Amino acid sequence: MKKLLVLGVGNILMMDEGIGVHAIRRFWEENSDNDQVDFIDGGTFTQDLFYLFEKYEHLLVLDVVRAGQAPGTIYSLDEEDLVKNQKQVLSLHDVDLLDSLGMARMRGFSPKLKVVGIEPEKIDWGVEMTPTLTRAFDSFITVAKNQIERLIA
């Protein structure tokens, strides 16, 4: 069993919505994979991916988070934060994500969830992120790297 799955989710055809997938691509470029971590492009994330969670102790999701703060604000959230604070909505994938975790738990697997998210500026048709998120991207990657180091320690 590997220790950590880093799952980048989002739609790269919808501007800022694709930041999680862009982040995974950055990790692939840096050859960041090691014997404790897998980096997977979850795309628009469906419940069909729940079986992946069964192979890991921890799950780190990279995605946009709409919580009403300034665009580019970076969040680090635990599963409890997502469940108890309904004003923080994890992109369009939150229901699928929490449902998928529930399905994995029904099968006897219980990875710990952590989310690194960023407040989007614009979600609309387009393949480029907004300048705001483009400028914040390296900070987003740094926060994700810090979480990865903490989770595999």
Pure H helices in the chain: 19-29, 79-84, 94-106, 131-152
3-state secondary structure of 85: coil
CATH number of 120's domain? 3.40.50.1450
Residues 6+ apart with CB under 8 A from 146: none
d(CA 71, CA 37): 29
> What's the one-letter identity of residue 60?
L
Torsion of CA 70, 72, 76, 81, to 10 degrees: 40
Taking alpha carbons only, the member of 5, 30, 117 closest to residue 71 is: 117
* Tens-place pLDDT, residues 112-153: 999 999 999 999 999 999 999 999 999 999 999 999 999 999
CB 141 within 8 A of CB 26: yes
How many domains does one find in the chain?
Answer: 1
pLDDT in tens, the chain (153 residues): 689 999 999 999 999 999 999 999 999 999 766 889 999 999 887 677 788 888 899 999 999 988 889 999 999 999 888 776 655 555 545 557 777 888 888 888 888 999 999 999 999 999 999 999 999 999 999 999 999 999 999
d(CA 135, CA 95): 29
Which domain, by its residues, includes 78?
2-152
